[in-house]
Amino acid sequence: MTVLVVGAGFAGATIARVLAENGIPIHLIDKRDHIGGNAFDELNEQSERIHRYGPHLLHGNKNSEAVAFLSRFCCWTPYEHRVRALLPSGETTPLPVNRTTLEDIFKIQLSNDNETQTFLDSLRQTKIKPTNSDQLFLANVGEQLANLFFRPYTRKMWGVDASKLGIGIGARLPVRTTRDDRYFTDTFQALPSHGYTSLFEQLLDHPLIQVELKRTFCKTMEQNYEHCFLSVPIDQYFDHCFGRLPYRSILFHQSNTNSQQSAPVINFTDDGRFTRVTQWSLLPNSPDNKTGPHQITFEEPCSVEQNPGEYYYPVKTKDSEQLLKRYQTLAAAEANITFCGRTGLFRYIDMLPAVSLHLTMARNYIAQITSQAA
């Protein structure tokens, strides 16, 4: 009854733990040399906690099953994430757009929510019924703010114009009439006190889970297992027979600074090569390092061809959704295989929703084999 799980990120680790706790032996493999997937973190030489693959911020409903599940394996440090955008003047302003942002850009004073909403409405193209991200930008904030904050950033982030992207991409950032400058407003916002890697070490600490790193999946492995949960690119599994699903990747550039950013993350919304820079010492679960220098990480979006094997963001367009459906039809015929994770599902999933989704996936499998045994 041994089950193969490919990928040691949130998807694979959640599935592995649930199945192991139900008496199913697990062989968990990952092509990298560490557990934790893209959430992997580590201490640098200055004892700052660095997220190797960009900042990972947990947020969601504090009463969710995902929070309860992860809370078994770590303690939490409360953290409400804040981001500022770099303006052409060299100053920064809060992002998502809020009342303070509008005051900074237009050099005005707005006294309350109603006044802010009225001013915002004067900028917006309210007659548009959005069907793509670019139309959503125009409907939400209007032409000037779309050109300042969203269009250049989206183009370099995704490699295509915002008009080619589904509405869900643009919908990830709200627009506020208050001065709330938190990036998220969820009831649960925290970081694992001892880091994500420690969380994953506890999550995978079970006698029925065997972890093997630096091991790449190949199809010949399938015959040795009762079932396989595959966090691998679904199009790659089927030899790209219908074509390649589009992804964006990220190149990470490390540097040091003796200064302090105005927020842990600064977004570059211009046409430059970088999308954001993170100062790790500003995250509260990073050990104190008051003297510096402080490590900072710049992120440069790129194609997967420029960063082979590093799939970060599925590019959701009408064409890619149609292509995905064709691969999903093939996958449905594979009774002993379940695709999971960001690449298996071709879906951008925040961490807590990923845990919830894969808790359900694991329980469905248990219910299935229980029914077959009966």
Same domain, 322 and 233: yes
Three-class SS state of 229: strand
Give residue-wise pLDDT tens across range 167-214: 888 887 789 999 999 999 999 999 999 999 999 999 999 999 999 999
Give residue-wise pLDDT tens across range 249-308: 999 999 999 988 999 999 999 999 999 999 999 999 998 766 779 999 999 999 999 999
Same domain, 320 and 240: yes
- Does some domain include residue 328? yes
Distances (CA, A) of 87 to 49, 101, 275, 335, 357: 28, 11, 13, 53, 38
- Does some domain include residue 46? no
Confidence of residue 166 (pLDDT cuts 50, 70, 90): confident
Same domain, 100 and 25: no
Same domain, 15 and 156: no
Same domain, 91 and 227: no
Same domain, 239 and 347: yes
- Looking at residue 292, what is its pLDDT? 75
Same domain, 95 and 146: yes
What residue has token string 């916002």?
Answer: 189
- Does some domain include residue 180? no
Exposed, middle or buried by CB within 10 Å (0-12, 13-18, 19+), for 305?
Answer: exposed
- Does some domain include residue 106? yes
pTM summary value: 0.94
Same domain, 234 and 133: no
- Does some domain include residue 162? yes
Whether 339 has a pLDDT exceeding 70, the answer reads yes
The domain boundary, picked from 128, 145, 170, lies at 170
Q: Are the beta carbons of 123 and 105 closer than 8 angstroms?
A: no
The domain of 89 spans: 83-170
Same domain, 233 and 117: no
The domain boundary, picked from 170, 189, 216, lies at 170
Same domain, 215 and 362: yes
Give residue-wise pLDDT tens across range 15-34: 999 999 999 999 999 999 99
- Looking at residue 289, what is its pLDDT? 63
Q: Are the beta carbons of 1 and 25 closer than 8 angstroms?
A: yes
- Does some domain include residue 58? no
Same domain, 212 and 360: yes
Give residue-wise pLDDT tens across range 141-150: 999 999 999 9
